[in-house]
Structure 1
Amino acid sequence: MSKKQKVVSRSSAEAEYRGMAQAAIAIAHNPVQHDRTKHVEVDRHFVKEKLDAEIISFPFISSEYQLADVLTKAVSTTVFLNSLDKLGMRDIFAPT
């Protein structure tokens, strides 16, 4: 028998954006925290300025090279095994 799920999972990107938005709202409503985080706005403008001037770029990196993907999303078996190898994780139950 199937049961209606009470919880809907979010993609990791959506969850991260939601978390950032909630943190920003909390900071904006707290004047003490707001004064401590003014440098974030300066940093954001600095990075945006460098992006617009094409001094820096954020290229797309495929899952093959993103080691964190194995911990946050479904990846192919090949990517999974390669990531585990790069992270130095071994199957302790594998025959030697």
Structure 2
Amino acid sequence: MGFKPEKPMDLRYDNKSAIDIAHNPVQHDRTKHVEVDRHFIKEKIEKKIIRLPFVKSEDQLADILTKVVCGKVFQDALTKFGISDIYAPT
């Protein structure tokens, strides 16, 4: 985009195995089906362009768009997105 980032971008992920694979070159050899993506991510981690901090599944906001979640997790995510029920009594 034409500017150098001041700090690494966080790619928050709720899969500890995927985070371990991205950091550990020994495990990389066991993941042949993601060859190109693995090299891309590994390079960005080494250059400190991205970081892969772990985030608990219930705090992963994108989950409400990709899988079934319980009502509480769904409502919490809607609140974090700033979405409210316009039909709810005030």
Q: Over alpha carbons, which structure has the higher Rg?
A: 1
Under a length normalisation based on structure 1, what TM-score does the superposition of the two structures give?
0.42
Under a length normalisation based on structure 2, what TM-score does the superposition of the two structures give?
0.44
Greater strand proportion? 2
Q: Which has the higher contact order (CA 8 A, sep 6+)?
A: 2
Greater helix proportion? 1
